[in-house]
Amino acid sequence: MYAVIKSGGKQHKVSEGEEILLEKISVEEGKNVEFSEVLAVNKDGKLEVGQPLLEGAIVTGKVVNHLKSKKITVIKMKRRKDYRKKQGHRQNLTKVKIESINYGS
């Protein structure tokens, strides 16, 4: 059984017991979080797709920890103009363990 949820403007395919990295969610470590924006659920080989969301479908998870992603470097340069700019970025992430997918019976 798996579900497709929407979080942080992105879609994620999740299944029970899986740990996923999401953009930062402002929930304390160890607390439960519910995702009510469920786009699709595959249960017993039957795929249910919402238009755009499934009514009554909820995915629950537990926040494991908060961390930062690997640093990326952004470099801007204009040739022959003596303009160079270097900038780094590390995205804040939240690791969530999916505990249950509830849809229908």
Q: Under 8 Å CB-to-CB from 52, ≥6 apart: which residues?
A: 39
Structural contact between residues 98 and 13, judged by C-beta atoms closer than 8 angstroms: no
What pLDDT, on the 0 to 100 scale, is given for residue 37? Answer: 95
**94 phi, psi to nearest 5 deg:** -130, 130
What pLDDT, on the 0 to 100 scale, is given for residue 105? Answer: 59
- Per the listing, tokens 């994620």 go with 12
Domain ranges for the chain: 2-102
Tokens of 11: 């879609």
Ranges in the chain, pLDDT < 50: none
Residue of 68, 70, 72 lying closest to 93 (CA atoms): 68
- Per the listing, tokens 């690997």 go with 70
